Amino acid sequence: MSRYILSLDQGTTSSRAILFDAEQNIVGLAQKEFTQYYPRQGWVEHDPMEIYASQYAVMSEVITQNDVDVRDIAAIGVTNQRETTILWERDTGRPIYNAIVWQCRRTADMIGELLDRGLGETIRGKTGLIPDAYFSGTKIKWILDHVPGTRERAERGEILFGTVDSWLIWRLTDKTVHVTDYTNASRTMLYNIHTLDWDDALLEALDIPRAMLPRVCGSSEVYGYTVLQGTKIPIAGIAGDQQAALFGQGCFEAGDAKNTYGTGCFLLMNTGETACESKNGLLTTIAIGLGGKVQYALEGSVFVGGAVIQWLRDEMRFFNESCDAEYYAQKVKDTGGVYLVPAFTGLGAPYWDMYARGCIMGITRGTKREHLIRAAQESIAYQSLELVEAMERDTGRRISELCVDGGASRDRFLMQFQADILNKQVRRPMIRETTALGAAYLAGLAVGVWSGTEELKSLWRCDVTFEPDMEEPRRAALLAGWRKALDRSRGWADRL
């Protein structure tokens, strides 16, 4: 049996490749950052060719640096930044416009028009999503509207749409396979998560030709092959990054929940084969497509999580390395009454305020850099708490513990504050690369490396459990201050 699974983890700021063995040990990892483009205020773009080039480079690097025989790679799994939208020419494979990133707010007015037409409840009922510029549908329409001749070419089947998984697989299979999986399709605002098909009424509402859309598949099957060093290797797993992390955390049963601390924060709870409609600003989405069935999830999204630390590093220049935030946050006993609301691109769940903007409240003459850094750290935990509370209200089920992963989960100060402000256990796994691990699980299941989810569950190991240790009066006071500051940030851009 082949010894390795190769995960391609294409994220918002970098592309990574991770090699796992059959015991889920990490054999090797390579990572490469790529360029972020901000052509106008609130706009975010990537170069699709740079995405592919960086992903291919790290894939080659991890194989070469670890002296791996490609014949020992059983399969490739792909996980990706979701909602990011790419349109390209079928014949040449050339993108017709930059990728419009999930963070981009350029289509906020387009969402407003859909709501004015009374389509809000229709979209919510069919897709499980709250209409927002976050999702792919209006991004596709924007490109079709702004690149001359594109819609006509798309109607003729000459232009293809894909989220990043589709784009990578199209390139890796030498322009022969145009697919996506249920999880990514469910993030487009075009896919009916109940009938499991692209929705003609929504396509018509946005004037998007069906001919440009990928075929939707399960999350664990062989989609096609890529050739590395003369060897054909099956591409056998696909999941959007947050669903992959849910799967990688072993959240296979209804009620299991995880929070990923990346560029944003994403809390998902598996709701089994029942699509639970949220009354508290959460999304209903597809958790995974496995064995001919789909499981659903409730999801809450924080747009700016770890990105607030990057902002302190790159724009404010408060420190040189992101990991330094933990050190500085602990140099003061509290924030000195300062709250930072990082609504740089609006607020996600449970508020869905496209016009909210970042603010810093409570500054006094005694406020220091350390106070601001600590306030930024704490803002990540406060936003995650809002998601947990909304999820518990929707399901009537108390989340007793939270599984965590992602880059910022390495920060012990943040994880302890998260446990304190939640008043719940926070559990961090031994392998924190759970997004890549989830993609590896899906690919490995498809080619027989693992027998099923029971075997995968037996491999999961906890690294550390953070126990809550904050008195209730202090917790309540901190939360009251946060909500007061949050209220100041809402609707700001709309009022200008």
Q: Is 398 annotated as a binding residue?
A: no
Residue 479 exposed, middle or buried by CB count within 10 Å (0-12, 13-18, 19+): middle
Q: Tell whether residue 12 is among the known ligand binding residues.
A: yes
- Is 218 annotated to bind a ligand? Reply is no
347 Cβ contact partners less than 8 Å away, ≥ 6 residues apart: 303, 353, 356, 486, 489, 490
Q: Cα(71)–Cα(230) distance, rounded to whole angstroms?
A: 9
Of 103, 21, 19, 32, the C-alpha closest to 65 is 19
Look up residue 240 and give its amino acid.
Answer: G
16 among annotated binding-site residues: yes
Helix 369-395 × helix 412-422 angle, to 10°: 50
Asked if 248 and 224 count as a contact pair (C-beta separation under 8 A), the reply is no
Provide CB contacts within 8 A for 494, sequence distance 6+: 355
The annotation status of 425 as a binding-site residue, yes or no, is: no
The answer to whether 137 is annotated as binding is no
Cβ–Cβ under 8 Å, residues 87 and 140: yes
Query: How far is the CA of 26 from the CAs of 33, 219, 235, 236, 297, in angstroms?
Result: 20, 22, 19, 19, 28
Residues in CB range of 273: below 8 A, 6 or more apart: 293, 294, 295, 296
Q: Show the beta-strand stretches assigned E in 329-453.
A: 339-341, 359-361, 401-405, 425-429
Q: Dihedral (C-alpha) 69, 71, 75, 77: value to the nearest 10 degrees?
A: 30
407 is in an annotated binding site: yes
Query: Is 461 among the annotated ligand-binding positions?
Result: no
Nearest of 243, 115, 294, 241 to residue 189 by alpha carbon: 115
Positive or negative: CA dihedral 352, 356, 357, 362: negative
Q: Is 306 annotated as a binding residue?
A: yes
Residue 415 CB partners (closer than 8 Å, separation 6+): 404, 409, 426, 428, 466
Q: Side-chain half-sphere of 172: how many Cα atoms within 13 Å? A: 30
Parallel/antiparallel/unpaired status of strands 73-80 and 159-162:
unpaired
CA torsion sign for 307, 312, 314, 316 is positive
Q: Is 241 annotated as a binding residue?
A: yes
Report the C-alpha gap between 41 and 173 in whole angstroms: 36
Q: Is 14 annotated as a binding residue?
A: yes
- In the annotated binding site for ADP, the residues are 12, 16, 263, 306, 407
- In the annotated binding site for ATP, the residues are 12-14, 263, 306, 310, 407
- In the annotated binding site, the residues are 12-14, 16, 82-83, 134, 241-242, 263, 306, 310, 407
- In the annotated binding site for sn-glycerol 3-phosphate, the residues are 12, 82-83, 134, 241
- In the annotated binding site for glycerol, the residues are 82-83, 134, 241-242
